Amino acid sequence: MKGKFITIEGCDGSGKSTQKRLLIEHLRSLNYDVVETREPGGTQEAEKIRELILDKSLTKMSGVTELLLYTASRVEHVNGLIIPSLKSGKHVICDRFIDSTLAYQGYARGLGIKYIQEIFELTTPNCWPDVTIFLNVNPKEAFLRKGGRDENDRVENESFEFHQKVYQGFLELCNIYKDRIINIEADGSKYDTSKLIIQELSDRKII
């Protein structure tokens, strides 16, 4: 039996890590076999590439280089962890995936989503998520919740205008992929948001 691939997306500070944890706890309480992972990262090779991507000293990295590094990390992640887990019947819950690349590099970096979609299909074919949870929190509110930016994260330290473009990109993706992306207004408590997510996944027969 093939497992389900569930991704969680949103701006930095939107609560992805918290909602991932709560969802995994719920699934395990129902005896699902669950694999927890993230992007960039997920395997030893992908985590090494993550270090390079987020290195705050690399201030002049081009958008294309950034995209290709994310792609290289994803190839290792998909082939080394995601596909084997799904084939063995495990549910994979991933903090960020292709939609982050589309929002950050496609929209905010201006590379365009068609270009990125083609690279994604070429390098990791047939690996679109079964469903994606988008935590709808604008960048200003998200950073307030988080208590500021992570100074060691190169991407997180981009301008507010950049992060606003990312947010608008996510909203566009919600329209483009409305059958796959669930837009969750995450303005309640973490438990209220978790209940909304679980209900949506249940209604779609994902869990």
* Residue 150 banded pLDDT, cuts 50, 70, 90: low
* Comparison of pLDDT for 146 and 44, the residue scoring more: 44
Give me the mean pLDDT over the 162-182 stretch.
Answer: 97
3-state secondary structure (DSSP) of residue 196: helix
The pLDDT of residue 158 is 85
The pLDDT of residue 151 is 67
* Residue 156 banded pLDDT, cuts 50, 70, 90: confident
Give me the mean pLDDT over the 177-185 stretch.
Answer: 97
Give me the mean pLDDT over the 100-128 stretch.
Answer: 97
Q: Does residue 146 surpass a pLDDT of 80?
A: no
* Residue 1 banded pLDDT, cuts 50, 70, 90: low
The pLDDT of residue 182 is 98
Q: Does residue 203 surpass a pLDDT of 90?
A: yes
CATH domain 5-203 topology: Rossmann fold (3.40.50)
Q: How far apart are CA 135 and CA 9, in angstroms?
A: 6
The pLDDT of residue 155 is 82
**Domain chopping of the chain, boundaries:** 5-203
The pLDDT of residue 2 is 84
CA dihedral 101→102→105→107, nearest 10 degrees, is -150
Q: What is the pLDDT of residues 71-109, one digit of tens each?
A: 999 999 999 999 999 999 999 999 999 999 999 999 999
Q: Does residue 52 surpass a pLDDT of 60?
A: yes
* Residue 35 banded pLDDT, cuts 50, 70, 90: very high
The pLDDT of residue 145 is 78
Q: What percent of the chain has pLDDT over 90?
A: 86
The pLDDT of residue 144 is 81
- Measured over the CA atoms of residue 77, residue 80, residue 83 and residue 85, the dihedral's sign is negative
- pTM of the predicted protein model: 0.94
